[in-house]
Copies of this chain bind each other. A is one copy, B any other.
């Protein structure tokens, strides 16, 4: 009996115990597509997270806070305190950009994960991921720097289309109602 087969039977035994716990077992992860997905999904998620410290930065430099306890130390009197509890155009801009990221990047990661499991062509998949990631960086630049339209609209649309295209692929490959 070859060694690989022996290792195999060992592995199988271990598996079959786990199967009892975890029900039936199927693997459908394509290695390279999934590695590419992992890379791009992490990059865009981190990009989305960076909006949080950016909001904090604008809140501090513009002295525009959202909670009374945030200004308790900085403000000297009650009047100054109220003055610092205001919405600021720059802060609200970054927050809208963050919200748009939540509305677009989260669906990308969720659908992209399922898309990666449907075994798409590697080049097509990576193209989708690259286009999406690129479009979101453009979107953030256009939003935060308030570039003239349609720069923001177009970059949003490209990313939206990439996610929809992946969703179409998922639903046309897997339809189990």
Name the residue on B nearest A10 (C-beta). Answer: B4
CB distance from A162 to the nearest CB of B (A): 12
Chain B residues closer than 8 Å to A68, beta-carbon distance: 146
Contact B39 A171 (CB under 8 A): yes
Structural contact, A26 and B29, CB atoms closer than 8 A: yes
Instruction: Sort chain A's interface into a size bin.
Output: 35 or more
Do B4 and A9 have beta carbons less than 8 Å apart? yes
Which chain B positions have C-beta within 8 A of A102? Answer: 102-103, 106
Asked whether any CB of chain B lies closer than 8 Å to the CB of A127, the reply is no
Instruction: For residue A87, give the distance in angstroms from its CB to the closest CB of chain B.
Output: 12
18 contacts between A and B (CB under 8 A): A4-B9, A5-B5, A15-B27, A22-B30, A23-B33, A23-B118, A35-B176, A36-B176, A38-B117, A38-B118, A38-B174, A38-B176, A39-B176, A41-B110, A42-B111, A42-B170, A43-B171, A53-B160
